[in-house]
Structure 1
Amino acid sequence: MNKLFSLLLVVVLCFSCNGKVEDSGTLVSTNKELYEAIKNVKAGDNIVLANGVWENVEIKFVGEGTENAPITLKAETPGQVFIEGVSNLEIAGNYLVVEGLFFRNGYTPTRNVIAFRTSEEKVANYSRVTNCVILDYNQKQRDKDDLWIQLFGKHNKVDHCYIAGKTNGGPTLRVDLKGNQSIRNYHQIVNNHFGPRPRKGGARGESIQLGSSFTSMSPSNTTIANNLFEECNGEVEVISSKTNFNEIRNNVFYKSEGSVVTRHGNYAVIDGNYFIGDGVNKNYGGIRLVNTGHWVINNYFYNIIGENFRSPLAVMNGIPKSPLNRYNQVTDVVVAYNTYVNCKSPWQFGVGTNIAQSDVLPKSEIRSARPIRTVVANNVIYNTEGDLLPVVEHDKADGVLFKSNIINNSDVEFKDYNGGLQNAKLELKKVSENISIPVGVPGEVTPYVGFEFNTITKDLAGNSRLNQNKIGAFVNADMPDPNILDKSKYGASWYSNEIAVKEANIFTVANAEELQAKINEAQKGDIIALNAGVIKFLNR
């Protein structure tokens, strides 16, 4: 009996030494153990990374799970597994889940930190990255591009992640459609917090890019929903939609120096989003439209004062017979049931026109094709201070139909577009610090019913439009505070994504030596002030 007990004890100890954890799966502590566990994985298995720093680890997570028995690669304790050094993660197979990892203090050795494929042939489907953080995971050379998350395959999901601090070139997240295995992908990018991304300068600084001009004729069917974009200042496009049938719903764009842009591709739905500025920074943008068939509905814009490309609503001129990588004409677009509060010149048409430079530009670069068959209806504009130009025509807006729009313009006269933009005395009902709803729309102003407007069945707050429809983003101002900036709604559950307001240190220097010393000492946000006089720099 004692011998049998001893034998069983040895067997249990052997399993323990190999990292077998009865409840949560296979616990691995080294790169070698991890690679071996992945090699032998089967549907329903869990691979658990031991708490601690995993340095210089290139993970190829390959497996075949099922809908009811996915394969999971997860942290022993969410947020306590740190992927550092020269490390990355590639996923291929079906029904795979990655959970609870923290990428920091390193950079990827490839073009992506997390890729939903291991090769052009082997992609991930029905797979998920959730409850993870990627923070300041930048290349050593700022001019070396990479992607932090790159999606291929179909039906994949990135959710409840915090992603912030990208300083080098390349979109933070990109959906690629190269090959039939990645079109009509129905990916979901939901409930994430895209935190601060500093100004990059120039292009290739998007937070999300959906496809490219080369795949702009392909259907993507990607959904971006319920995310917070906070101080995403990489470039003029926070989200760049470059494929067809994408949906951008119920997101919050907070003090982000850029816009949601339908750069290429057609038939996007931009529904129920909040765009929050401060009334001072002209770089905070809204929605910019290029191409065909988009619906912009139920959005709320507050204190957005950007101009041209960054205006609350920018509808561009296109290039006649445009190549794929330039600007197609805007056609068959609907802009309806949106609310604009204290937004300067919120509607701008013919943005980007360069007809005046036609003598010096090649014909293929002249943006002369004005928007056509475009409907702007049932919107509300409220200005505390009157706006001489609530609508700006950089080129004629003769292809735009204005219907049942209301403006409170504080007695300042404006062009009414054949009665399509009417004056009204409205009041503001404050719901929260960043949400005030105009109320008091005259009863005789009824919503315009255009083609398929009956499909707009809810307002921004989710209230039904079927029985009590009103113009603007909200049918009812008596609503609770939606707490759109409650950070607990977005990102990883274990990570504090509150952005601390740091008091800047101010250093005053009088000579080159002091300047160099303070440059070495200064932290992000600090200020170095130069005394009046001449500072000489010596060549060494």
Structure 2
Amino acid sequence: MQKTSAKVYRIGSEQEFRAIQSILMPGDKVMIKNGNYTDWSVNINNKGTSLKPIMIQAEKPGMVTFSGNVTKPIFSISGAYVFIQGINFKDCVLTKTGVLIELSISNNCRISDCSFSSNQVKTQFTPLVIISGNGSNNIVEGCNFISNVDNQDVQVKITKDACPKFTLIENNIFRDKNKVSWPNANGGECVQVGQDPVLLGNQKPETTVRKNRFIHCNGENEVISNKSSENKYLNNYFKDNDGELVMRGGHDCVIADNTFKGGTGGIRVNGTGHQIINNKIDGIATAIRLMYGMAKGKDEIGFYIAASDCIIKNNTISNATTGILIGDSKDANWTGKFDTKRYPSPVMQNVAPFNNTIGGNGFKNVKDKVVEK
């Protein structure tokens, strides 16, 4: 018998969700009753359509809260056109295998208007939200990530075998993130696109991160960490962060129309072919840094790749000590700091930036506009 109309299911437990999960059809809505929930783990592989997505939402936005220990994904979505909306995740404690929402091999799925606040992870490099697998066109939009502890907030996960395509991270707020407690002060990015820039930096997820706000994000020195190729970072707003927008690895990314106000860093660049244009950077000691590497180009293996063939134009830099620094971390010695068997790279950061085009940038109250080391 053909189904003719969408249904609304009101559920109040994991068991009730599991009971209806297999029969969800395009256009159906799952309304989670207002309340506080713990110890959920549901897998959703159903498929909606562009005109009739499957909605999983709070009965009333902001009135459904998940908290407590998380050892498995609370929501794991591997379907298509499944939208999660209006749910709070607060005071969750995540183990290494825990995640709040994972979009895994999903297509056209969406996380909207959710709040992630005061959550804590117990294992380094653990994210709250993961986009993974060989899916495409997934979206994280209109969410708040506030005062989370020791974690990564949003991770686009890239492996040798899987690379999500065309992820959009848009109109989210990231704020009040304290320094992570890990010994090497690493693993506290707000957004990370790729995890292995040395061996997998040539992967092309073509992620877009745009119109987000990053305020008082001090988790580590990379507020955004790009470790893959052909991504776009557009129209984001950064204020008073202890960190930078970092091209840690990868190539051919676009960093355009972003605004930076105060804090410790602006844009840091390794890799080739990036376009850094029309950004406004104010009140940061060194606005743009082009880094030395251990190797060059897209084919050589280096723990860091020298900045090359990048375009840095039409940026407006004000109230800085150095506007654009060409050649930071010269002759840095990485002996003993990474695994040279896994990464067959020289250990000296002695390859200077080269073939970069710098022009048309505006400077106001900048002591040294362009410095080459």
Relative to the length of structure 2, the TM-score reads 0.88
Q: After superposition, what is the alpha-carbon deviation per residue over 1:213-236, rounded to whole angstroms, capped at 9, x for unaligned? A: 242111110000000001111111
Query: Which protein is bigger by CA-based radius of gyration?
Result: 1
Partner-residue secondary structure (3-state), 1:332? coil
Aligned to 1:313: 288
Please tell me whether the aligned partners of residues 154 and 181 of structure 1 are also in contact (alpha carbons under 8 angstroms). Answer: no
Please tell me whether the aligned partners of residues 6 and 28 of structure 2 are also in contact (alpha carbons under 8 angstroms). Answer: no
Distance in 2, Cα, partners of 1:320 & 1:105: 43
Aligned to 1:43: 26
Aligned to 1:155: 137
Aligned to 2:92: 106
CA positional deviation for 1:342: 0.8
CA positional deviation for 1:107: 2.3
Runs of 5+ unmatched residues, structure 1: 1-21, 118-122, 278-282, 306-310, 396-540
Equivalent of residue 85 in structure 1, options 37, 58, 68: 68
* 2:197 maps to 1:244: no
Partner-residue secondary structure (3-state), 1:390? strand
Partner-residue secondary structure (3-state), 1:33? helix
Question: After the TM superposition, which residues 449-460 of structure 1 pair with which residues of structure 2 at under 5 Å, given as runs?
Answer: none
CA positional deviation for 1:182: 2.8
State the percentage of identical aligned residues.
26
Q: How has the CA–CA distance of structure 1 residues 178 and 144 changed in structure 2, closer, same or farther, with 3 Å as cutoff?
A: closer
Question: After the TM superposition, which residues 210-221 of structure 1 pair with which residues of structure 2 at under 5 Å, given as runs?
Answer: 210-213=193-196, 214-221=199-206
Distance in 2, Cα, partners of 1:371 & 1:77: 53
Distance in 1, Cα, partners of 2:27 & 2:314: 46
Please tell me whether the aligned partners of residues 216 and 324 of structure 1 are also in contact (alpha carbons under 8 angstroms). Answer: no
Distance in 2, Cα, partners of 1:97 & 1:177: 22
Equivalent of residue 370 in structure 2, options 391, 403, 421: 391
CA positional deviation for 1:61: 2.5
Distance in 2, Cα, partners of 1:227 & 1:85: 28
Aligned to 1:27: 10
Partner-residue secondary structure (3-state), 1:196? strand
Aligned to 1:265: 250
Please tell me whether the aligned partners of residues 301 and 341 of structure 1 are also in contact (alpha carbons under 8 angstroms). Answer: yes
Distance in 1, Cα, partners of 2:363 & 2:113: 39
Q: How has the CA–CA distance of structure 1 residues 196 and 360 changed in structure 2, closer, same or farther, with 3 Å as cutoff?
A: closer
Q: How has the CA–CA distance of structure 1 residues 291 and 354 changed in structure 2, closer, same or farther, with 3 Å as cutoff?
A: same
Aligned to 1:334: 311
Q: How has the CA–CA distance of structure 1 residues 328 and 179 changed in structure 2, closer, same or farther, with 3 Å as cutoff?
A: closer
Q: After superposition, what is the alpha-carbon deviation per residue over 1:13-72, rounded to whole angstroms, capped at 9, x for unaligned? A: xxxxxxxxx997111122211111212211111100001111221222231111111111
* 2:347 maps to 1:365: yes
Larger proportion of strand: 2
Partner-residue secondary structure (3-state), 2:289? strand
Q: In structure 2, what residue type is equivalent to 1:390? A: K
Distance in 2, Cα, partners of 1:49 & 1:256: 36
Distance in 2, Cα, partners of 1:163 & 1:360: 35
Q: In structure 1, what residue type is equivalent to 2:265? A: G
Aligned to 1:350: 327
Q: After superposition, what is the alpha-carbon deviation per residue over 1:161-188, rounded to whole angstroms, capped at 9, x for unaligned? A: 00122222x42211012366534x0000
Q: How has the CA–CA distance of structure 1 residues 245 and 364 changed in structure 2, closer, same or farther, with 3 Å as cutoff?
A: same
Aligned to 1:132: 114
Relative to the length of structure 1, the TM-score reads 0.61
Q: How has the CA–CA distance of structure 1 residues 328 and 145 changed in structure 2, closer, same or farther, with 3 Å as cutoff?
A: closer
Equivalent of residue 186 in structure 1, options 148, 161, 166: 166
Q: In structure 1, what residue type is equivalent to 2:21? A: I
Q: How has the CA–CA distance of structure 1 residues 222 and 195 changed in structure 2, closer, same or farther, with 3 Å as cutoff?
A: same
Distance in 2, Cα, partners of 1:35 & 1:53: 18
Root-mean-square deviation over aligned CA pairs? 2.4
Q: In structure 1, what residue type is equivalent to 2:159? A: K
Q: In structure 1, what residue type is equivalent to 2:326? A: F
Q: How has the CA–CA distance of structure 1 residues 289 and 53 changed in structure 2, closer, same or farther, with 3 Å as cutoff?
A: same
Please tell me whether the aligned partners of residues 172 and 206 of structure 1 are also in contact (alpha carbons under 8 angstroms). Answer: yes
Distance in 2, Cα, partners of 1:344 & 1:47: 54
Partner-residue secondary structure (3-state), 2:322? coil
Q: After superposition, what is the alpha-carbon deviation per residue over 1:293-313, rounded to whole angstroms, capped at 9, x for unaligned? A: 0000010011112xxxxx210
CA positional deviation for 1:86: 2.6
Q: In structure 2, what residue type is equivalent to 1:112? A: V
Partner-residue secondary structure (3-state), 1:104? strand
CA positional deviation for 1:242: 0.7
Please tell me whether the aligned partners of residues 293 and 302 of structure 2 are also in contact (alpha carbons under 8 angstroms). Answer: no
Q: In structure 1, what residue type is equivalent to 2:313? A: A
Distance in 2, Cα, partners of 1:108 & 1:321: 38
